Amino acid sequence: MGQAQQTENAEEIDVKALQDMYKKFVTECPSGLLFLHEFKRFFGVDPTGEASDYAENMFRAFDTNGDNTIDFLEFVAALNLVFRGDMEHKLRWSFKVYDKDNNGYVDRNELRSIIHSIYRVKKGTRTDTNEPPLTVDDSVDRILQTVDSDGDGCINMEEFIRGAQQDPWVLNMLKLDINPARWVVEQRRKSAHF
């Protein structure tokens, strides 16, 4: 009973967050198009801060037609996936964030870039105190060793998904749990304190 009630509350929070995002989208983007600098401002990301690179990669993943803007349909589709998609769909979306050059593969440099951004955003937060934290390069090496099944130095979508589903640590690294919902909630809290 308590878990069902907790799930309902989580869905209500998601709906509220979506409603808040819609209101903010309409206010910030009356033209119906969101550009990168507006995207960063929308989610409260300092253009030069820790989350800036991560936000740029997220923006690219949201921009499904590649026109360097996010229209409301792209925005809603991406948010629906982030909030309600199953794990495989979330991993497919995460793969698009990692695959910066959109060539269908994540190479060592792309992987390192995102892992570095994640480390900068998450600095100071440790969820597993039993193991010493890995460096960015150690994490990249571990992911490639676990996920790159054909040993070509690149990860394709199938390897990415399969590797994440088979190893909980890899899943935690690849699923990109830093999501827009958290940013909106944090922004709501910040504005409530002022």
Instruction: Write down the pLDDT at residue 7.
Output: 41
Domain presence at residue 130: yes
Tell me the average pLDDT across 25-48.
80
Give yes or no: residues 94 and 40 share one domain. Answer: no
Q: Which residue has the higher pLDDT, 191 or 139?
A: 139
Name the β-bridge partners of 105: 156
pLDDT digits (tens, 9 = 90+) for 39-80: 887 777 777 766 777 788 888 888 888 899 988 778 777 777
pLDDT digits (tens, 9 = 90+) for 121-175: 665 444 444 556 789 999 999 999 999 999 999 999 999 999 999 999 898 888 7
Instruction: Write down the pLDDT at residue 181.
Output: 52
How is residue 160 written in tokens? 């990415």
Sign for the CA dihedral angle at 144, 148, 154, 156 comes to negative
Give yes or no: residues 109 and 165 share one domain. Answer: yes
Give yes or no: residues 72 and 32 share one domain. Answer: yes
Give yes or no: residues 69 and 133 share one domain. Answer: no
Residue 192: is its pLDDT beyond 60? no
Q: Which residue has the higher pLDDT, 125 or 22?
A: 22
Half-sphere exposure of 84 (CA within 13 A, CB side): 11
pLDDT digits (tens, 9 = 90+) for 69-126: 988 778 777 777 766 778 888 888 888 888 988 899 999 999 998 888 877 766 544 4
Three-state SS at 154: strand
Residue 5: is its pLDDT beyond 60? no
Supply the CATH number for residue 147's domain: 1.10.238.10
**CA gap 79, 62 in Å, rounded:** 9
Show the domain range for 23: 2-85+180-188
Give yes or no: residues 69 and 55 share one domain. Answer: yes
Q: How many residues does the chain have?
A: 194
Instruction: Write down the pLDDT at residue 117.
Output: 80
The overall pTM is greater than 0.75: no
